[in-house]
Amino acid sequence: MLPHHSKLSKTSNNADDEANTEDLVSNLPHNLTDKILQLLPLSEAAKLGVLSKTWHNNWSCITSLRFDYNFGVKFRKKRKLDWERFSSVINNILLLHQGPLPEFLPYIPKSRTTNDDKEMTLNLRRWIFFVSRNGVKKITLCNSYVLRVLSMPSHIFICKDLEELILHNFFLVPPPTGFMGFVHLSKLELISIQFKLDMLRSLIESCPELASLDIRQYKPLKGLVIDAPKLEKLCLCGAFGILDVNNVPKLAQLQLQLTGLGLTSLNVKLVTIIKNLATSCPSIKTLNISVDASNDVVVQRNFDYDNDFKLGYLCEVNFKRVQGSFKELKLIEYLLSVSNVLEKLLLQFAKIDDSLQLKVQKQLNGFQRASPKAIIIFVE
């Protein structure tokens, strides 16, 4: 009888251990389970809902829904997207969701099929309208189907709690009458966005708390005006007919990747931009420059050096894709001559032969520098 009793005891102990383990899993704090669910792919996070009633409730209350690239892959067969099934699953997940939803990321996969743009926009309208009523603070909308630019539903303008907005490959419609601005928005990222003239300017001005702005346009813009008194970080990529940056006294990081012009005119333009920025944002400390050099353009003019003009706060310059042209060297020489507190200039070459690199390095090291601390670092 004793062996039988011992066996029963072991069985009882195992059952207790399993019960304790289940209790530990079920009784984890909600904020911890939410973090666990957010670290998992959405499909895997949904499977955890079967662990217990508690985990099922936690899954339905997850605070971040990221329908990313990996999520969309599951709805593609032979490079064709099953849009109906893809949108249906997202609709059902949103329908079952409970409580606040601070973060929402729908990624629209590219496909060779001729999906109905109206149907895509209609679903986007539903999704954005849903999250607007659930306290959404961060929205990332990525349309990877570059051949079809979708219209952004106007419901985006009723997301009054937004703090971060990232849009990729959309046509941005004008805001409805009565739009009071994104009063909490601190980060705005616009990639390949189409909009009516002057709308971008009014959008930026409607974000009084804007601290980070990233604009990457692959089609030329006639003009861009930036007025953002709390802006700290600015990234501009593309060809801009007129670039007017003013009233940005807190700007500390600037990244310029200007394209679409011969480097002679671009150099002159960059000097104008740098002077304007120095006036409107005197505290700028970091400057990143990347330009498309055109070696067959003849230099038409030299820079007009102004002994009274200095970049009094600029500590670091990062110059990328240098091809060794005379025009680039003149621009670098200019920056060294007006940056009296500069500590380092990082320079990365494009794919050029070693002999030209060595020649350019010798020329750069011979340039006079306004700052005694300035060093030139050549990076791979």
Buried b (16+ CB within 10 A) or exposed e, 168-195: bbbebeebeeeeebbeebbbbbbbbbeb
Phi-psi region of 218 (alpha: psi -120 to 50; beta: other; left: phi over 0): alpha
The amino acid at 173? V
Distance CA 244, CA 272 (A): 10
The chain-wide mean pLDDT, for the chain, equals 78
The amino acid at 18? E
Could you read off the pLDDT of 248-285 as tens digits, one per residue? 888 888 887 766 554 445 555 666 666 666 666 667 78
Q: Which phi and psi (to 5°) does residue 65 adopt?
A: -110, 110
Asked whether the predicted pLDDT for residue 18 surpasses 70, the reply is: no
User: What one-character DSSP code corresponds to residue 63?
Assistant: S
Count the neighbouring beta carbons within 10 Å of the beta carbon of residue 334.
Answer: 19
| Residue the block writes with tokens 């032979």 | 78
Asked whether the predicted pLDDT for residue 188 surpasses 90, the reply is: yes
Asked whether the predicted pLDDT for residue 53 surpasses 80, the reply is: no
Q: How far, CA to CA in Å, does 271 sit from each of 254, 265, 274, 288?
A: 14, 10, 5, 14
* pTM, rounded to two decimals: 0.74
The amino acid at 166? I
Residue 278 has which token pair?
A: 């120095």
Q: Which phi and psi (to 5°) does residue 171 adopt?
A: -100, 120
Count the neighbouring beta carbons within 10 Å of the beta carbon of residue 317.
Answer: 23
Could you tell me the residue ranges of all domains in the chain? 25-62, 67-210, 220-380
Distance CA 168, CA 189 (A): 8
Q: How far, CA to CA in Å, does 308 sit from each of 11, 13, 311, 327, 339?
A: 87, 84, 10, 23, 12
**Residues 184, 188, 193: CA angle, nearest 5 degrees:** 135
Distance CA 264, CA 27 (A): 66
Could you read off the pLDDT of 295-349 as tens digits, one per residue? 443 333 445 555 667 788 889 999 888 888 877 888 888 889 888 899 999 999 8
Higher-pLDDT residue of 288, 246: 288
Could you read off the pLDDT of 189-221 as tens digits, one per residue? 999 998 876 788 889 999 999 999 999 987 777
Beta-sheet pairing, 80-81 with 76-77: antiparallel
**Alpha carbon 220 to its chain's center:** 20
The residues near 324 (Cβ < 8 Å, ≥ 6 apart) are 349, 352, 356, 357, 359, 360
